[in-house]
Amino acid sequence: IPYVGTARQVRLPNCNLEEEKSLKKKGRGSFDIRVETNHNICAVKWYDSRAVTLVSSFAGPDPVQIIQCWDKANKTYVEVERPSIVATYNKYTGGMDLLDSFTAKYKFPMKSRRWYVYIFWHTIILAVINAWLLDKRECKALKMAKQEILNRRQCTVAQE
């Protein structure tokens, strides 16, 4: 099964990637690579504004791309190297990650002794979040203006 995702450094105990401090000294866009050849697993630690560790079974660091990132200190765009594994992760992230983050943000606010109440409300919250994400994706595909999207949602809410 091909996979790509983030991992905490403590979850990779025998993978000796560089420390965040040393990557920070090298500057934005610096990265360190470790490959485990028996199982074809690649681990990359990339530093942009913070260090992030990515693990993949099919994507690696090559080819390295040059991207434009905003620098808050200088208030200009700077060129930063980005490994291919980061681009792959950014391309395919969004579905479950967004769903997980929104369900964590909008938890069921009431307390209950009945376990099935939580399952019921969790299902309702998942349905609402998925509907909103699908609507957002549809509006983006149709290239709707922001005002049109707002009017569409207001009409939908007003009808209900």
DSSP three-state, residue 77: strand
Are 80 and 15 contained in the same domain?
yes
CB 67 within 8 A of CB 79: yes
| Domain end point (choices 58, 75, 90) | 90
Range of the domain at 57: 4-90
Asked if residue 36 has pLDDT above 80, the reply is yes
Are 12 and 82 contained in the same domain?
yes
| Alpha carbons 64 and 66: distance in angstroms, whole number | 7
DSSP three-state, residue 102: helix
Residue range 135-154, pLDDT digits in tens: 888 888 888 777 776 676 66
Question: Which pLDDT does position 45 carry in this prediction?
Answer: 92
| Domain end point (choices 71, 90, 109) | 90
CB 60 within 8 A of CB 85: yes
Question: Which pLDDT does position 92 carry in this prediction?
Answer: 79
Are 34 and 72 contained in the same domain?
yes
| Rg (alpha carbons) of the chain, rounded to whole number | 21
The more confidently predicted of residues 77 and 125 is 77
129 pLDDT band, cuts 50/70/90, is: confident
